[in-house]
């Protein structure tokens, strides 16, 4: 049903699983003898976080934070607000922030700075999608699933007006979807 609104699939379900395996293996190797704390940024991170952690073979924990950037429809336009904070301390923890997408870089910069300020021993970022052409602030995630062009994408956690987060792939919407009331 939802697929009728999709113009093109950019990353399909099998690719997402392969990406998650690769990133999970890399994280497992890089964090040997550490017990990283993975922090997922709601709401978009959930499908990716759920897939990724299956492939991390370490004593690790995960926690969730909710961060909202203000959007003008399909554009990220500004401020970042923490709408659900962590319940635990990050002091001396090796933190990995899990994101569905890094676009302007605003969200990730705010969260990374906050966690370092709170005393995290290290903070790295794993993102399913990286959109470097969207940056308004410099940021290079350590673990990147796929680099995508400057397009508004939906699916696998990413929404348009709250919908499409539940598709098992990442795609681009048909123009007609934006023209609906
Ligand atoms: O690099 P940026 O331009 O800051 O954009 C990236 C952020 O935008 C989206 O979150 P959003 O604020 O839309 O919240 P959501 O996860 O609930 O969809 C996405 O999940 C990232 O967290
Ligand atoms: N759904 C969605 N949210 C975003 N937030 C920042 N970039 C994007 C994007 O391309 N799609």
How far does residue 122's CA lie from ligand 2's centre (Å)? 26
Query: What would the pLDDT profile of 18-32 be if each residue is shown by its tens digit?
Result: 999 999 999 999 999
Residue with tokens 């906050």: 114
Residue 70: both structure tokens together = 């203000």
**Which CATH fold would you assign to the domain 13-148?**
Rossmann fold (3.40.50)
Query: What would the pLDDT profile of 138-174 be if each residue is shown by its tens digit?
Result: 999 999 999 999 999 999 999 999 999 999 999 999 9
Active centre residues (catalytic)? 103
- pLDDT above 70 (res 71): no
C-alpha 180/C-alpha 5 separation (Å) is 11
Residue 81: pLDDT band (50, 70, 90) is confident
Pocket of ligand 1 (CB under 6 A): 41-44, 68-69, 76, 99-108, 159
- Return the pLDDT at 68: 81
Angle at 91 between CA 87 and CA 96, to 5 degrees: 80
Pocket of ligand 2 (CB under 6 A): 76, 101, 103, 152-154, 158-160
- pLDDT above 70 (res 126): yes
For the CA of 158, the closest atom of ligand 2 is: 1
For the CA of 159, the closest atom of ligand 2 is: 1
Q: In the chain, where are the structural domains located?
A: 13-148
> Does this complex have an ipTM over 0.90?
yes
- pLDDT above 90 (res 87): yes
DSSP states of 10-67: EE-HHHHHHHHHHHHHHHHHHTTT---EEEEEETTTHHHHHHHHTT--SS-EEEEEEE
Dihedral over alpha carbons 22, 27, 30, 34 (to 10 degrees)? -150
The model carries a pTM of 0.94
């Amino acid at each position: 049903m939802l697929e009728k609104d999709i113009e093109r699939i950019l990353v399909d379900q099998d690719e997402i699983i392969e990406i998650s395996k690769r990133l999970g293996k890399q994280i497992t190797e890089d964090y040997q003898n550490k017990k990283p704390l993975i922090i997922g940024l709601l709401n978009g991170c959930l499908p990716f976080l759920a897939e990724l952690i299956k492939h991390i073979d370490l004593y690790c924990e995960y926690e969730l934070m909710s961060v909202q950037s203000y959007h003008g429809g399909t554009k990220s336009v500004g401020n970042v607000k923490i709408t659900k904070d962590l319940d635990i301390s990050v002091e001396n923890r090796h933190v990995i922030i899990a994101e569905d997408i890094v676009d302007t870089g605003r969200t990730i910069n705010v969260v990374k700075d906050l966690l370092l300020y709170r005393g995290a021993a290290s903070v790295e970022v794993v993102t399913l999608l990286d959109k470097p052409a969207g940056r308004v602030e410099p940021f290079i995630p350590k673990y990147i699933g796929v680099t995508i062009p400057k397009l508004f994408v939906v699916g696998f956690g990413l929404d348009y007006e709250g919908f499409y987060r539940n598709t098992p792939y990442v795609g681009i919407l048909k123009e007609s979807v934006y023209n609906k009331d």
